[in-house]
Chain A
């Protein structure tokens, strides 16, 4: 593995910028595409005449443009304590199909059941009374305020604390596992098409031991007839994050834009490319000026941005980064890895990140 660390001075960067003309396809006119192309996911184009699956769901579209990242004092909407739970942990992502008969009013009952389930699984063959607190303490909390639209369901946070049998009464129980189910800015048509006894919280973030994660998933699957799968992010999502986060630099110092690529050589070459935030922002600003009245950012602009960064890298090292895959993006606002791992750095832009992730999760829903 070879690490490349590049810190650009402003002057150098500007010089490169001027000679850019031919290197980057900066569109002459602002692409004002509000119309989003629909990428049909279903391979059955016409509905089958004979059999209609009840509740046949609408086809989800991949948006090609989205609004710029907006800062919002999320603490206005969400309890700061809850926010503190979400920030600064590394979360592993999964997607989950809609939950059947999940009720936000029954969270206490769910806590008891999950605790009993975990206790029963840990001691095979021994029955455990539900409600008896032993070994594990599970808490289900509703994190109100993260949901953006009317169709979004409220986020649910699950925490597992272990209470060893012989611990002194004064010992605080240790948190061994955390997870949360959320839906932020989910596609409203899709959410509306679900029957009323389903709750869609497609994004599941977990942090803790793998065995506990499996147990929690098994319990949720049995309780709500849902299905879990691991959510890997794709390069497009990472590109969006890079662009959106860079665009936030004026209002919030992103401190750096770190990109990690993996090139398919033998042995594979890992490239870590750190860009000075001001330079990154200037590049972004040249593609999508801040003063533009158009609030929407188009995918082509994001592509230009990434191309710009790649071209710059090529000029110095004669390596085509586009031959490899973008594996990780990180700024002070957070980081995202292709394997489906994220970190939330700053709560102010949490909605942007979660919107993108919710979208990725919804795209994985089986038709």
Chain B
């Protein structure tokens, strides 16, 4: 590596040769940090001449990092004030281009004031503002600086770079400066890295280092365009703003300052809550943070906001909103509620109101997810207009909810947790009612029957699988449609369920008799089971399904009207319509054997 020292400026051929060599190295491999320091010093001190200053700056491509002392020295040369303006601009632009490669920014931050003083130079102003934007921390925002920027704004007008920097100042110190930024106001910085972009990316690719990202503005200072249009609805997530009376002694970070999830994790104990809790639903990063918040007041604030937004929106009008409202409000809210560990009473009350007018289609997956997460009240009545698939999904949902509850119970009951058996009983009874009603309305549709039986498969094993001593029989409205179903799967499932019930009941009885435990299965449950079992056996084995005095006794004359021959046998193993296909298959097989 060549190093020049104390060479004469003009007409120096050696200087020229060395320059060319350095340039080639720079453009091919990039320059190591020490060389950068020396070269920068050389260029900015104008020791090599003014022309060479810009020339050097133009090929100053770093290979790895840029030491911050180089930059600091550069700024000091800037302060001396002998550099021509285009060189100054070029230097600042260069600093911006290599900003991410500067090893440490602390020294730069400590000379913030010096850098700030250049903001009055009209040519430098845009780039200085950008540099300040990247460097500013809370302690840099002072009233006199704010005033200076406002003076410049008064002179230069609403320049986007000024607005952007002031917006950042507002994030840090909202008690000093405030501004309103609807989306139509332009903000942002000019392009600065055009001179080096190509060469820099080429060198980086060669060195296989991380490619420099464009200094994108992750700080979202723009607010939603609400100023011109009147708010048509209340379902809007507020913008992220900082509280203005925050405790300034602690060093806290605001959510707007975080650029990545990694930063969030590093500073998790240091983050200040925003002024409006509802704004946390606006960004994925903030949602993650919300999960970690333990503050009771914070949740109360969120609950108030959520409850208020939903309350102000009459449920009926929810179906006439433009699509983006669903995307912008409901989806983040559902995602949050579904993923978070806290339930909110406002969610529950909203759901009850919503379900009474819901058509079953709008945002179905999200609503069903929510349903499985919250405890449901039995006052929810089946509306005839609720479509059939919704009913199936609801039962499926409630099934998964039941499994969750049972799992929770089996885990926590041993530790003496809450007794939720009453809740479970309510749920099972409710689903029984729901299913009976649904099956009646839908003429025992196979799919609905399937879901219902799946639910009862969970229910029948509550004692054996989840150690919950609760045995609840399916109601007649579920049992008989399954017994007389026309598909074999339902009949088979019913058989399985009855078998499991028997197992559970026998074990329970045995334990009771041995006085091993403290629960008690009522006699009625046994009676109910026996009755169901009798009905099953009677119809399938004894060819006698219309037992007088049973639940399904039908008048003989009515049956005669059907003109079916031998109606009593119609539901036994041989004649059962569900098992018909097996019967046919049996005959086919037998005839095949005999024909050979």
Contacts and interface: CB of A to CB of B under 8 A. Distances in A.
B308 A366 contact: yes
A43 B307 CA distance: 13
Contact of A53 (B163, B175, B297, B342): B342
Size band of the interface chain B makes with A: 35 or more
Interface of B: 143, 146-147, 149-150, 153, 158, 162-163, 166, 169-170, 174-182, 184-185, 227, 238, 241, 243-245, 275-278, 296-297, 299-301, 303-312, 342-346, 348-349, 352-353, 374-375, 377, 379, 408, 418, 420, 423
B344 A53 contact: yes
B179 A127 contact: yes
Interface stretch (A5-13, A112-120, A165-173): A112-120
Given A117-B178, A366-B346, A225 B301 contact: yes
Contacts of B149: 127
Contact of A222 (B153, B276, B344): B276
Contacts of A194: 300
Given A44-B348, A130-B177, A222-B238, A53 B343 contact: yes
B297 A100 contact: yes
Contacts of B174: 130
Nearest to B311: A366
A116 B150 CA distance: 13
Given A221-B238, A367-B349, A128 B177 contact: yes
Given A125-B158, A126-B153, A130-B178, A49 B418 contact: yes
A129 B146 contact: yes
B375 A50 contact: yes
A45 to B, nearest CB: 8
A365 B184 CA distance: 35
A113 B342 contact: no
Nearest to A125: B185
Contacts of B304: 97-98, 225-227, 365-366
Contacts of B275: 222-223, 225
A44 B277 contact: no
B375 A48 contact: yes
A229 B312 contact: yes
B305 A198 contact: no
Contact of A127 (B150, B308, B312, B374): B150
A129 B153 CA distance: 12
Contact of B182 (A124, A195, A366): A124
Contacts of A100: 297, 301
B175 A113 contact: yes
B343 A51 contact: yes
B185 to A, nearest CB: 4
Contacts of B182: 124-125
Interface in A186-244: 194-195, 197-198, 221-223, 225-227, 229
A44 B227 contact: no
B291 to A, nearest CB: 14
Nearest to A228: B308
Contact of A125 (B180, B277, B379): B180
B227 A124 contact: yes
A322 interface: no
Contacts of A44: 345, 348-349, 352, 377
Given A50-B375, A113-B244, A129 B348 contact: no
Given A124-B185, A129-B146, A229-B312, A222 B241 contact: yes
Contacts of A128: 150, 177-179
